Amino acid sequence: MARHLKIACLQTRPQPDFLSALDEALGLADAAVEGGAELLALPEYCGGLKTEGSALVPPAAPEDEHPVLQGLRDFAAARNVWMAIGSVAVPGPEGKIRNRGYVIDNVGEIASRYDKIHMFDIQLSDTEVYRESALVSGGHQAVLTDTPFAVVGHSICYDLRFPALYRDLAQAGAEILMVPAAFTKKTGEAHWHVLNRARAIENGAFVVAPCAIGMVEGGGESYGHSLIIDPWGEVIADGGTTPGIVQATIDLDLVAAARAKIPSLEHDRSFTSSGASLDAKPRDVA
């Protein structure tokens, strides 16, 4: 019997406050459930996002008091649906916050938490600079979630550029790799599609990548193009550049089929690096 699952990515806009963020998410979530979605996936910082100079300054609240997290948990319970909450900001150590993602079950309970590991500290130009680590304390642990339909692996946005994380998740059993993001427009245009397709191909897994769309208050712009990608690397849904719902029905049996055709997850080998190959200075080649 085929293992079918209807997934909906909610392509929300970056909102500067809790109320606006929750209102937009719930409106799309309600429409997605009416359309038959069984798993809803939201972008990074779906609990609110704005910037001040080079710093990301999302509104933050403790987990048990976070209005967006609580509102989404209540929705999941009321509508009997699973939700992958891309991330919200919660207090962290030393006066910083955590960029934390969740999987919420269909009775509104928190099934898992993941703190973003890799910090988005980059300089795209003289004027476009981001220093996530100025406010956010990074996590240190990869996280899997067992659900009734599949094993889900967590990640968030900039994690996408670190393939070892996804390799570990896949080898530990992940069939769906979640990549919620607020990818910048500039880097998204260059790298978003190819990196997400690569993570699916390398690991023989579905990639579900809800990405925020539009301008960020204080500066910056998110790319959109929320994606659902199959284990062969084919894009089966693309959200484009407008807010809305991106959905597809996936066949989870394709994970085992792809891994049987190319069992690379079983072929990793340890190796050492010699000084001659890595440390030698460049030289002319005849």
pLDDT digits (tens, 9 = 90+) for 72-95: 999 999 999 999 999 999 999 999
**281 classed as catalytic:** no
Whether the per-residue pLDDT at 99 is higher than 60: the answer is yes
Q: Record the tokens describing residue 96, joined without a space.
A: 């910083």
- Predicted confidence at residue 157, as pLDDT, reads 97
φ/ψ bin of 93: left (φ > 0), alpha (ψ from -120 to 50), beta (otherwise):
beta
Q: How far is CA 183 from the centre of its chain?
A: 10
**46 classed as catalytic:** no
Q: How far is 193 from 178, CA to CA, in rounded Å?
A: 14
* Residue in 163, 164, 211 with CA at minimum distance from that of residue 187: 211
Residue 46 lies in a domain: yes
**116 classed as catalytic:** yes
Residue 276 lies in a domain: no
Average pLDDT over the chain, rounded to an integer: 94
Cβ-in-10-Å burial (0-12, 13-18, 19+) of 112 comes to middle
- Choosing from 9, 46, 157, 211, the catalytic residue is 157
Residue 278 pLDDT class (50, 70, 90 cuts):
low
Residue 271 lies in a domain: no
User: What stretch of H or E contains 27?
Assistant: helix 18-34
- Choosing from 9, 24, 116, 175, the catalytic residue is 116
CATH of the domain at 244: 3.60.110.10
Give the count of domains, the chain.
1
pLDDT digits (tens, 9 = 90+) for 177-234: 999 999 999 999 999 999 999 999 999 999 999 999 999 999 999 999 999 999 999 9
Residue 54 pLDDT class (50, 70, 90 cuts):
confident
Residue 280 pLDDT class (50, 70, 90 cuts):
very low
Residue 277 pLDDT class (50, 70, 90 cuts):
low
Q: How far is 31 from 232, CA to CA, in rounded Å?
A: 29
Task: Give the whole-number percent of the chain exceeding pLDDT 70.
Answer: 95
CB neighbours (10 Å) of residue 3? 14
Residue 268 lies in a domain: no
Q: What phi, psi does 130 have (nearest 5°)?
A: -130, 135
Whether 125 and 146 have beta carbons less than 8 Å apart is answered as no
Residue 30 lies in a domain: yes
Residue 283 lies in a domain: no
Torsion of CA 152, 153, 156, 157, to 10 degrees: -90
CB neighbours (10 Å) of residue 31? 14
- Choosing from 9, 24, 38, 44, the catalytic residue is 44
1 contacts: CB under 8 Å, gap ≥ 6: none
Mapped onto helix, strand or coil, the DSSP state of residue 188 is helix
pLDDT digits (tens, 9 = 90+) for 106-122: 999 999 999 999 999 88
Q: How far is 206 from 177, CA to CA, in rounded Å?
A: 6
54-58, 167-171, 190-194: segment of lowest average pLDDT = 54-58
Q: Record the tokens describing residue 109, joined without a space.
A: 């309970």
Q: How far is 203 from 223, CA to CA, in rounded Å?
A: 25
pLDDT digits (tens, 9 = 90+) for 228-269: 999 999 999 999 999 999 999 999 999 999 999 999 999 999
pLDDT digits (tens, 9 = 90+) for 127-165: 778 889 989 999 999 999 999 999 999 999 999 999 999
Q: How far is 244 from 50, CA to CA, in rounded Å?
A: 20
Cα–Cα separations (whole angstroms), residue 101 to 84, 113, 126, 200: 8, 6, 31, 20
Strands 206-209, 176-178: parallel, antiparallel or unpaired by DSSP?
parallel
Residue 275 lies in a domain: no
Range of the domain at 18: 4-261
Q: How far is 17 from 19, CA to CA, in rounded Å?
A: 6
Residue 235 lies in a domain: yes
- Predicted confidence at residue 286, as pLDDT, reads 38
